[in-house]
Chains A and B, each alone.
Chain A
Amino acid sequence: MKTTVVGSYPKPKWLLRMIRLYNEGKIDDKVMNEAYEDAVRAVVKDHELAGIDIIWDGEMRRDEMTSYFARKIDGFVIYGEVRVWGNVYYPKPAIIDELRYKEPLAVHEFEFLRNITDKEIKVPITGAYTIVDWSFNEFYKSKGEAVYALAEVINQELRNLVKAGANYIQLDEPAIPTHPEELEIAKNAVEIMVKGVNVYIGMHICYGDYSKIFPDILDFKVDQLDFEFANRNFEDLKLLKEYDFDKDLGFGCIDVHTRRVESVEEVKRAIEMALEVVDPARLYIDPDCGLKLLPRDVAFKKLKVMAKAKNMVEYELGLT
C-alpha cells in the first residue's frame, strides 16, 4: 500500500507572478528556470512533509496538459484558445504536419526531481489519445492515424525516461471515456506508447462514465488503472467488483473539487472499501485528480490527511 499524487499541485503565488513577468519579457530564461526549480523544491518539501510515498514535481513547468506537450512536438501549431465551457478556455493545438519527436517532454523534469529527492517518483504524461482528441487534425486522414503517430513520439520519450532512470510512468487519458466507441484506438495507442518500455505503467482516467469503458479497459496493457472515486461517492467501486478487477488500483479518495478537507476517519473508511477489491500490495492511494485548482494550504492538508489515513489502516492490518 502506497500513497501517491496524480500530478499537479498548486503553483506558489510568487511563481505565478514570475511566469507573468516572463511572459511580458521582463525576466530571462535563466531566471525563469531557477524559479521553476525553486518551486519544485518547495512542492517536494510539501509532499515529503505530508508523508507521500511516491511523488512528482507538482507540474510546476506545465501550464496545461495538452498544449504543454504539443508545443514540444513537431507537427503541432497553436492558433489560439477555444472554449471548454463558460469562461474556461484552453490553447487548442492543431496538427498541421507529420508528428515527430523534437525535444524532451518530461525527461528534464524527471532528471531535476531525481537529483533533489530520495523518494520514489512517478512521471505523469498526457497520453496520445487524449492529446489528439483535444486537438484539431488538419493533416492525418483519420483520428486513429493521428493517435498512432503521436503514440510513437511518446514511446520515444518513455524510452528516454527509462534510460534516465524512471521506473514508474503514468499515462493521463481523461478523454478515453468520452468516446467509448474509440476504445480500440486508445488501446492500440497504449501498446505503441509502452512498446519496449519495461517499467511500471499506470493510466489515470478521470471525469467520465466508467461504466462505458468496462470491462474493455481491463485489457489495456498497463499495470495500474487510476480512477477518481471520491467525486462520485465511491460508487464506481461496484464496477470493479462486478468485473473481477485484476490490475493494480490507483484509488482516488480525495475530492479535488471541494475545499473541504476530508477527515482522516472518512479517508480511512474509503481505503478499507478499496481493500475489498484489491490486496494492500496492489493499492496506490491518491487524490481523484491533480490538486492544482485548490489553494495550496488546502491541498497540503488533504495530502496529509490521506497519508495519515493510510498509515492508520496499515497499522491496524499489522502491515507496519
Chain B
Amino acid sequence: MMATVVGSYPRPKWFREYLKRIEGLQKDLDADMGKEILKKVIAEVIERQRKAGIDLMTDGQLIWHDFLATLATRIEGFVMDGLIRYFDNNLYYRKPIIRGKLRRKGEILWDFRLALEIERNLKPVLSCFTLAKLSKNEYYSNFEELLWDLGEIMKEEIKGLNVEFVQFDEPALLFASKDEIEVARDVFREICKVNAKAILMTYFSSAEGIFPEVLDFGFDIVGLDFVEGFEINIKLAREYGLKRINVGIVDARNTKMEDLKDLKAKLERILEFAKDVHISPNAGLEFLPEVKAFEKMRLVSKLKEEFG
C-alpha cells in the first residue's frame, strides 16, 4: 500500500504574495519567474509531504494557476479566454480556445523537471481528455483528431521525463459520452505504451460512465473517488475485477477531518477485492487552507499505518 496525493497543494503564503506582486491579479499569468524561488517553494512543499508521511509525492503544481492553463499555455495552438467555473467547485479557470493545430513547442512540465532536481520520488501530473474537453475547439473538424494530436504531445512529454509513475487527471471522463470514451480509450492505449507506470485519476463523481471501457485504457492504476461515489465505485470495481486502484478516500474538498476508524472500515471493504492500492485524498489539496491540507495528508498516512 502506498500513501500518495493527487497533485495540487496550497501555495505557501509568501509564495502567494510573491506571485501576486510579480503577476498582479488578472493580467498575464504564468510569469517568467526566478527558478531559484520556484525551487525553494517546491522544496518546501515536498518537505511538507514527506513530514506528513506521503510515499509518492508531487511537485504541488505550485505555479499552476488553474488546472488547464499551465498545460494549454505551454502547447502551441491554444489561446486563453475568460473565466469559467471548474466543475461544481467555487474555483474558476480560464477557458482555453484551440485556434490552430496543436504542436509541442518544447518541454511542458519544466516546473516538474525543476522539482526532480530536488527529489526523484515524484509523479508528474498531466491531462489529455479533460484539457481537450474543457477547451473550446475552433480548429479541428472533430474531437477525435483533436484528442489524437494532444495525446501524441503528452506521449512525447512523458518520454523525456524518465520517471517511474506518470499520472493523468481526467475528471471530465466521468461526465463524457460513450462515443468520447471510446476515443479516449484508443488515445490512452497509445499513450500508455510509454515506459512508465501510468495512473488514471478521476474525481468529483462516481465512475459508472467509464466502465467497462476504462479497463482497456491501458493504465496500470485507475484512481476512483470514494468520497463522492463510495458504494457505486465499490460495486463497479468488484464487478469488473479492477484491482490496482488509487483509492481517493479522504475528502479534499471539506475541512472536516474524517474519523480514522470510519476510513479504516471503508478501506477494508475495498481491500476485499483490490490489492497494492495507492491511497490518497479524492482530489488535489488546493481546495483547502494549508493547515487542513497538511492534516488531510497526515490522515492518509495514518490510515496506511493502520494496515502496517
Contact = CB atoms under 8 A, between A and B. Distances in A.
B and A form one assembly: yes
Interface of A: 79-89, 92, 94, 133-134, 136-138, 175, 178-179
Nearest to B253: A136
A84 B16 CA distance: 13
Contact of B16 (A85, A89, A134, A136): A89
A178 B25 contact: no
A84 B91 contact: yes
Interface string B1-17: 00000000011010010
Contact of B85 (A80, A92, A137, A178): A178
Contacts of B13: 81
Contact of A82 (B10, B24, B25, B93): B10
B141 interface: no
Nearest to A179: B88
Nearest to A293: B25
Interface in B265-308: 286-292
Given A79-B291, A79-B292, A80-B291, A85 B256 contact: no
B195 interface: no
Contacts of A134: 90
Given A79-B289, A79-B291, A80-B291, A86 B254 contact: no
Given A79-B289, A80-B289, A80-B290, A85 B254 contact: no
Interface string B29-49: 100000000000000000000
B162 interface: no
Contacts of A89: 16
Nearest to A136: B255
B289 A85 contact: no
Nearest to B286: A83
B29 A86 contact: yes
Contacts, number: 65
Nearest to A90: B90
A82 B66 contact: no
Contact of A85 (B10, B19, B91): B91
B66 to A, nearest CB: 6
Looking at A87, A89, A92, A179, the one whose CB has the most chain B CB atoms below 10 A away is A87
Contact of A138 (B11, B93, B254): B254
21 contacts: A80-B289, A80-B291, A81-B13, A81-B16, A82-B288, A83-B10, A83-B91, A84-B90, A84-B91, A85-B91, A85-B92, A85-B93, A86-B25, A87-B20, A87-B25, A87-B29, A89-B16, A136-B254, A138-B255, A138-B256, A178-B85
A88 B83 CA distance: 12
B65 A86 contact: yes
Contacts of B83: 85
Nearest to A82: B289
A94 B292 CA distance: 11
Nearest to A85: B92
Instruction: Sort A-B residue pairs by CB-CB distance and give the 7 closest, nearest first.
Output: A80-B289, A138-B256, A85-B92, A79-B289, A136-B255, A86-B65, A94-B255
B142 interface: no
Contacts of A83: 10-11, 91, 286
A81 B91 CA distance: 13
B26 interface: yes
A92 B289 CA distance: 8
A127 B83 CA distance: 24
B24 A87 contact: yes
Contacts of A175: 90
Contacts of A84: 90-92
A255 to B, nearest CB: 14
A71 B139 CA distance: 49
Contacts of B65: 85-87
Contacts of B254: 136-138
B156 interface: no
A81 B289 contact: yes
Contact of A86 (B66, B287, B288, B290): B66
Nearest to A89: B16
Given A83-B11, A87-B16, A88-B25, 5 more contacts: A80-B290, A85-B65, A86-B94, A92-B289, A138-B256
B169 to A, nearest CB: 17
A133 B253 CA distance: 13
Nearest to A207: B83
Contacts of B16: 81, 87, 89
A49 to B, nearest CB: 29
Contacts of B94: 85-86
Contacts of A82: 10, 286-289
A137 B253 CA distance: 10
A138 B24 CA distance: 33
Contacts of B19: 87
A180 B292 CA distance: 30
Nearest to B69: A86
B255 A79 contact: yes
A277 to B, nearest CB: 27
A94 to B, nearest CB: 5
B23 interface: yes
B9 to A, nearest CB: 11
A138 B289 CA distance: 14
Nearest to A79: B289
A89 B11 CA distance: 10
Contacts of A94: 255-256
Contacts of A136: 254-256
Looking at B83, B91, B255, B290, the one whose CB has the most chain A CB atoms below 10 A away is B255
Contacts of B93: 85
B286 to A, nearest CB: 6
